[in-house]
């Protein structure tokens, strides 16, 4: 069960059961309060979503892409999470009291969904998920992005639609524009990186009553495909712009829209490949949006050569963040749901937590001492080779008791 973090400024502490090396470990975790928006709406401590008393983790290499959507049609939002492995999408049904059932795969034609173009290339990309009614038939459809695949002789991060059918979904189909070709961000971009890693969402961005599609990409920009109604979208996209040019995060943009500041229009939120969550406030109107420069809502993680030792040391979202926003606790203010990629160290098989922790601390200290004597490879390449051999020897010793794993977590962050 996930709980609202305390609103006490400074540090909060919460007891969570983490699976560490295959063994549940009761841990007390120190979590920093995250400063919030420019309007003084503070964000509380990030809390990892749990299922049946354990922290939710997607399969390696992680890259969780979450959202709250009513998949079952019972009026209670369920947690939907895409991942890199197998291009799979999972549903965690909710009982409406904050408790989630175990994962079950989203199915199409009675078979688990696999989004094309997600895991075929070894890149940091998880299947993006967004539940919406694309064609206005009253049934929810699943809109997903992909990293890259080939269709029509070009490499694109195509957008896939799984149209609602009965109580489930149809098979993934590439979303077409009104000219009968796949929607492609590259049609309006000079940088080829705008073509790949699509992360689409829907929003009526100009208040004309038609859903539009806005997608992120590897470049970190945002492309708008104007909605024409009944599931039709303009073939030619345009970049979302502010006063200083195209809106942009550092890399791998992942848009979400919500009225963050309560002024009645749609503001843009985004994660990024380097982590963090960013707000582009709409300073225009519902019919004529104008986006301001980005404000950081959640800081990107500090760079470290060493991953944290066990989940209890993970204090907040990692890299490759994906964001969903909405009012989760009924206080009238939108909250954040953030997926990520997290790398951590855990005990090797047969090694106790205590021994692994001691060995990891010793390795970290030894590596720090060794770093002090790092030679300049341009000045003395032989010395640099010998120094690197010492680093490798340290790592070999470490790997006997500690192993590095990649996973993806999902975090809830509430406005206070």
Return the HEC string of 47-80.
EECEECCEECCECCCCCCEEEEECCCCCCCCEEE
Token output for 254 = 């992942």
Residue 81 burial class via C-beta count within 10 angstroms: exposed 0-12, middle 13-18, buried 19 and up: buried
- Whether 157 contacts 195, CB under 8 Å: yes
Helix (H) or strand (E) holding 16: strand 11-20
Tokens read off for 151: 């269709």
pLDDT of residue 141: 95
Structure tokens at 98: 């904050």
Residue with tokens 């029509």: 152
> Nearest CA to 169 among 216, 195, 207, 134?
134
Strand 11-20 relative to strand 23-32: parallel, antiparallel, unpaired? Answer: antiparallel
HSE-CB for 16 with a 13 A CA cutoff: 28
Strand spans (E) along 310-384: 319-326, 335-347
Tell me the C-alpha distance between 180 and 2, whole Å: 44
Q: What pLDDT shows up at residue 126?
A: 82
Show pLDDT as tens, one digit a residue, over the chain (416 residues).
232 222 222 222 222 232 322 222 222 222 333 444 333 358 999 999 999 999 999 999 999 999 999 988 888 899 999 999 999 999 999 987 778 999 999 998 889 999 988 887 667 888 899 999 999 988 999 999 999 876 555 678 899 999 998 778 999 999 999 999 999 887 655 666 778 899 999 999 999 999 999 999 999 999 999 999 989 999 999 999 998 889 999 999 999 999 999 999 999 999 999 999 999 999 988 888 999 999 999 999 987 767 888 888 899 999 999 999 999 999 999 999 999 999 998 999 999 989 998 988 898 899 889 999 999 888 999 999 999 999 999 989 988 999 889 999 999 999 98
pLDDT at 21: 29
Q: Residue 327's CB: how many other CB atoms inside 10 A?
A: 13
pLDDT recorded at residue 31 = 31
What pairs with residue 341 in β-bridges?
Answer: 319
Nearest to 337 by CA among 283, 297, 286: 297
């Amino acid at each position: 069960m996930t709980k609202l973090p305390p609103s006490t400024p400074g540090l909060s502490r919460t007891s969570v059961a983490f699976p560490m090396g295959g063994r549940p470990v009761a841990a007390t975790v120190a979590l920093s309060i995250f400063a919030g928006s420019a309007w003084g709406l503070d964000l509380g401590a990030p809390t990892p979503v749990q299922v049946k008393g354990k922290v939710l983790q997607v399969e390696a290499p992680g890259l969780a892409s979450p959202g709250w959507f009513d998949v079952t049609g019972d009026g209670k939002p369920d947690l939907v999470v895409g991942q890199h492995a197998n291009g799979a999408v999972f549903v965690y049904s909710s009982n409406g009291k904050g408790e989630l059932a175990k994962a079950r795969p989203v199915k199409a034609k009675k078979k688990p969904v696999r989004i094309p173009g997600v895991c075929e290339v070894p890149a940091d990309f998880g299947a993006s998920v967004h539940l919406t009614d694309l064609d206005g038939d009253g049934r929810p459809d699943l809109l997903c992005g992909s990293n890259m695949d080939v269709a029509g002789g070009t490499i694109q991060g195509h957008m896939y639609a799984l149209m609602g059918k009965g109580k489930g979904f149809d098979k993934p189909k590439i979303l077409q524009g009104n000219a009968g070709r796949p929607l492609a961000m590259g049609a309006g971009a000079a940088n080829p990186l705008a073509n790949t890693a699509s992360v689409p969402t829907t929003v009526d961005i100009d208040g004309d009553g038609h859903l539009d599609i806005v997608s992120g990409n590897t470049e970190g920009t945002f492309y708008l495909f104007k909605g024409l109604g009944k599931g039709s979208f303009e073939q030619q996209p345009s970049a979302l712009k502010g006063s200083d040019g195209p809106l942009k995060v550092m890399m791998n943009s992942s848009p979400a829209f919500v009225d963050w500041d309560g002024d009645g229009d749609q503001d843009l939120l985004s994660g990024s490949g380097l982590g963090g969550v960013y707000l582009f406030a709409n300073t225009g109107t519902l019919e004529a949006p104008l986006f301001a420069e980005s404000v950081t809502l959640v800081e990107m993680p500090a760079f470290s050569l060493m991953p944290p030792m066990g989940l209890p040391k993970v204090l907040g979202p990692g890299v490759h963040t994906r964001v969903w926003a909405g009012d989760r606790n009924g206080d009238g203010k939108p909250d954040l749901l953030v997926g990520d990629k997290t790398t951590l160290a855990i005990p090797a098989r047969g090694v106790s937590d205590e021994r692994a922790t001691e060995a990891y601390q010793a390795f970290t200290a030894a590596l720090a001492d060794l770093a002090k004597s790092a030679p300049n490879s341009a000045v003395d390449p032989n010395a640099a080779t010998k120094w690197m051999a010492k680093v490798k020897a340290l790592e070999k010793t470490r790997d006997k008791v500690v192993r590095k794993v990649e996973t993806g977590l999902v975090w809830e962050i509430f406005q206070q």
